[in-house]
Amino acid sequence: MLRLLTRTLVIGITLFFLILKSPFLTLESANAAILKQQEAPGQLLYQSRHTLRDETGRAWQVVLFKRVQNDQINTINLRLVGFPNQAVFLHPKGLEIITRQGRLFQAIDQFAEKAPAPNVGEYNLQEILPKLSSTEQVQLNLPLVDETRILTLPPPIILEWKELI
């Protein structure tokens, strides 16, 4: 009786671990995909998209994109989009980027002259992004007309952005 119980237990544990290792039950990692599309012959656009909430709970579309033309990087920009009538960016004010260690970077406003909509901001990260650590969170101080909102980017997003560049 004890021998049968032991054998059944061993078979049960073995089956349990085999099922856990099954490719049907393997979960994909939670990384967002980097999107790639051809905009024109010889010109590619790479994008990383996330929806994040600021400290007040409002949602923001956060899109880092890179344009490559003839194997040369033309731009690495961060586009931030809030809901219409809830956020108005203050142009030509730059975007403050603060690391957890207190380093401060100022990203240049790409819509200083004319924005496509008041709730859209776009900032040049080409020089800044390589200087950010992929192991620490980053705070974005969004320059808005009425106030400054804070978006916190966790390290996995920074890591994904570094993969994009």
Which of 157, 160, 163 minimizes the C-alpha distance to 52?
157
- pTM greater than the 0.95 cutoff: no
Handedness of CA 133, 136, 137, 141 (dihedral sign): negative
Per-residue pLDDT of 107-134, as tens digits, reads: 999 998 999 999 999 999 999 999 999 9
Of the given ranges (4-13, 53-62, 146-155), which has the lowest mean pLDDT?
4-13
H-run or E-run covering 104 = strand 104-109
